[in-house]
Amino acid sequence: MPQSFVSPVTLSVVTPMYNEREAVDHFVGRLRPVLDGLGVTYEVVAVDDGSRDATVSRLLQLRADWSALRVVALRRNVGHQAALAAGLQSARGEFVVSIDADLQDPPEVIGEMLAAAHEQRVDVVYGVRGDRSTDTVFKRRTAGIYYWTMRRLAGPWVSDQAGDFRLMSRAVVDVLNALPEQNPIYRLVVPSLGFASAEVSYVRAERVAGETKYPLSKMIKLTLDSLTSFSAAPLRIATWLGILSFLVCLGLIVSGLTAWAMGAVVPGWTSLYIAVLLLGGIQLICLGLLGEYIGRIYAATQNRPRFLVAFDTDKDAAAVDPAELAARR
C-alpha cells in the first residue's frame, strides 16, 4: 500500500455524476463557499459516469474559474458504486469525502466531518440521516427492507441510516483501493473493515434538480450485489428447501402406501401435477441462486476493469477541449 505517499491536498471531495446537468450548477454554487471556508487545501473530484447530457462540458466550463474542480470522465455509465471507485482511485487527499451531486447530502456537514475526524482521531465519519421524510414512501420502504436484510446477513454493523455520504482517511481509502473485489458496496464494506469511526447526523434534503438516477432496476442490482458479496446464506435456502420437500415427499409416500393397502387407489393426476410443478419451481430457484454466485465468480476471474477513465483534467488537461466536447454531446 502506498503509505509513503504524501497527500498534496488535505481534502478530496468525490462526487459521482450521471446526467446531472440540471443539478451541477446548484452543487458547485453551494459546495465552493463551504470548502473555501474550511481553511484547508482541497480538490473536488467530479466523476462523470458516462452522462448522456451536457454534464461534462458544463463541469469543464465551471472548472475554468475554479481550478480545484477536477473532472474525471469515465468512458461509459458503470453505475454509482463503480463511479465512486473511480473517484476514490483518483482522489489524492489526506481525507476523502464522498457526496452525491444532487445536494441531498448538505455540503455544510463536510466541515463537521473533518472536525470530528481531527478531534476524535477516527478514520471514518459517517453522515447519518436523521430524517428521511423528503424521500418518497417507496424509497423509504425499500431502503428499510434493504438495510434490515443486510444487517441480518452482512452483520450488525450495517447502519440503516448511513448511505454513501462519509469521510474517510487516506488509510481507509488505500485499503478500499487495494480490494480485489469487482463490485464492492462501500456502505457495507467500510464499516466491516473495523476502523475507528464517528457519526455526524444530518437531514436528507430533497433532490435539488433533475430526477433520481436510481430506477428500480439499479436498486435491484445493488441489492443482489450486496447480498452475494456479503453472505452465502441465500445458498443455504436451497438446502432448506430440499430438506422441506424431502419431508413432504415422505409424508406423501406414507399416505400413498396407506391408500394402496386399503385398496383406495387415488386417480392422482392433480397431486402428481402439483408435486412436479412444486419441485420444478424449487429446483429452478436454487439453480438461479447458484447462477447469481457463479456469475460473480466468472466476472471476478475475467477481471475486466470496472471502469475506464476517458480523461482526468489534472493529468491530461491539454487533451480536453470543452468546445469540442460540447459539440460532441
**214 touching ligand UDP, by CB under 6 A:** yes
Note whether 306 binds ligand UDP by CB under 6 A.
no
* Selected binder of ligand UDP within 80, 129, 187, 306 (CB under 6 A): 80
* Residue recorded with cell 409416500: 253
CB of residue 1 to ligand UDP, shortest distance in Å: 26
Does 101 sit near ligand UDP (CB under 6 A)? yes
Q: Given the complex with ligand UDP, which of 63 and 213 has the nearer CB atom?
A: 213
Q: Pick one of 12, 90, 98, 104: the residue that binds ligand UDP (CB under 6 A).
A: 104
Nearer to ligand UDP, 11 or 101 (CB): 101
Residue 116 CA: distances (Å) to CA of 8, 119, 120, 267? 21, 5, 6, 74
Under 8 Å between Cβ of 58 and 27: no
Q: Which CB sits closer to ligand UDP, 83 or 113?
A: 83
**Site stretch for ligand UDP (CB under 6 A), options 59-67, 76-84, 240-248, 272-280:** 76-84
Binding-site member from 67, 120, 201, 212 for ligand UDP (CB under 6 A): 212
Secondary structure (DSSP) of 145-192: HHHHHHHHHH-TT--TTEEEEEEEEHHHHHHHHH---SS--HHHHHHH
- Residue 71, interface with ligand UDP (CB under 6 A)? no
Beta carbon nearer to ligand UDP, 24 or 117: 24
- Closest distance to ligand UDP from the beta carbon of 95 (Å): 20
Question: Pairing mode, if any, of strands 197-203 and 309-312?
Answer: unpaired
CA distance 61 to 129: 33
Contact (CB, 8 A) for 15 and 47: yes
**Among residue numbers 115 through 174, which ones bind ligand UDP (CB under 6 A)?**
none
Closest alpha carbon to 213 in 290, 102, 62, 325: 102
Query: Near ligand UDP by CB under 6 A, which window of 60-68, 78-86, 187-195, 321-329?
Result: 78-86
Residue 310 is classified by DSSP as E
225 contributes a contact to ligand UDP by CB under 6 A: no
**Binding-site string for ligand UDP from residue 172 to residue 211, where x marks contact by CB under 6 A and - marks none:** -----------------------------------x----
Return the residue of 79, 87, 107, 127 that touches ligand UDP, per CB under 6 A.
Answer: 79
Show the DSSP H helices in 4-108 as ranges.
21-36, 55-63, 80-90
Give the whole-angstrom CA distance, residue 86 versus residue 273.
52
**Side-chain-facing half-sphere of 1: CA atoms under 13 Å:** 11
d(CA 81, CA 319): 27
211: DSSP letter: -
Which of positions 91-130 make contact with Mg ion (CB under 5 A)?
100, 102, 104
49 scored as a contact of ligand UDP (CB under 6 A): yes
User: Is 87 among the residues that bind ligand UDP (CB under 6 A)?
Assistant: no
Question: If you write DSSP's letter for every residue of 216-235 in order, what string do you get?
Answer: HHHHHHHHHHHHHHH-SHHH
Q: How far is the CB of 327 from ligand UDP (least distance, A)?
A: 23
- Phi (first) and psi of residue 283, to 5 degrees: -65, -40
Which spans of this chain sit near ligand UDP (rule: CB under 6 A)? 16-18, 20, 49, 77, 79-80, 83, 100-102, 104, 207, 212-214
Which spans of this chain sit near Mg ion (rule: CB under 5 A)? 100, 102, 104
